[in-house]
Amino acid sequence: EAGVTQFPSHSVIEKGQTVTLRCDPISGHDNLYWYRRVMGKEIKFLLHFVKESKQDESGMPNNRFLAERTGGTYSTLKVQPAELEDSGVYFCASSQTLNTEAFFGQGTRLTVV
Amino acid sequence: GENVEQHPSTLSVQEGDSAVIKCTYSDSASNYFPWYKQELGKGPQLIIDIRSNVGEKKDQRIAVTLNKTAKHFSLHITETQPEDSAVYFCAASPRGSTLGRLYFGRGTQLTVWP
């Protein structure tokens, strides 16, 4: 069974540009989460989808971040326009139900220069 | 919201020795405490978890203990091996939240020297 996969693994963009990260959850997992780790700090929650609906987006930093999960399968996280402080590793995780463990992808390392 | 503190930030041990990583949490309503291991170039992988109705859980060389009164939990790795070298994260999930809604500590870089 394939795990959670994220694309790309690395992205380097200039300040002001747009970047879109993609996450493919484990097949059949209704719950999808986005997290971010800024260097040296804790992994922080961004938002949670149940199927195609946003269940909790309390961790989204500001309106430059837009997450979508059309059709309830894969999800994208767009940052527009990117700022220097957006640099970090973005993780996606998925779980089958609300009460089962979350499995993480390998992350996308975003560097804004 | 919940706040999770993790210590130490780095830990070096000799192969065969034990390693202990400690975490504290602030929200007494938290009831699920997973530990994740992140190897270089990979994502965090769940290695063990404990719920608030249990004080200790073991899985081969790893164990987790939970003290609800003191609001702290610890990861114990015995007979460490070089392949245990990784970053370890503790996390907590508040009661009523989905188990994927986690508050993480800052991580501990464990190095096991052969």
Strand order of the β-sheet with B72-77 is B4-7, B19-25, B72-77, B62-67, B56-59
Sequence-ordered list of residues with C-beta below 8 angstroms from that of B76, at least 6 positions apart, any chain: B18, B19, B20, B62, B63, B64, B65
pLDDT of B113 over the 80 cut: yes
| Banded pLDDT at A107 (limits 50, 70, 90) | very high
| Banded pLDDT at A64 (limits 50, 70, 90) | very high
pLDDT, tens only, B28-81? 999 999 999 999 989 999 999 999 888 999 999 999 999 999 999 999 999 999
Among A73-82, B76-85, B92-101, where is mean pLDDT lowest? B92-101
Contact criterion met (CB < 8 Å) for A101 and B36: no
| CA distance linking residue A46 with residue A58, whole number of Å | 7
The predicted pLDDT at position B95 comes to 83
| Banded pLDDT at B1 (limits 50, 70, 90) | confident
End-to-end CA distance of chain B: 41
Q: How many CB pairs (< 8 A) connect A and B?
A: 64
pLDDT of A44 over the 70 cut: yes
Contact criterion met (CB < 8 Å) for A43 and B89: yes
- Chain A residues in contact with B100 by the CB 8 A cut-off are 31, 33, 48, 93-95, 98, 101-102
Q: Which residue from B80, B82, B77 is spatially nearest to B114, judged by alpha carbons?
A: B82
- Give me the residue label for tokens 């938002």: A47
pLDDT of A1 over the 80 cut: no
**Rounded to 5 degrees, what angle do the CA atoms B19, B25, B96 make?**
120
The predicted pLDDT at position B68 comes to 93
The predicted pLDDT at position B42 comes to 93
Mean pLDDT across chain A, nearest whole number? 95
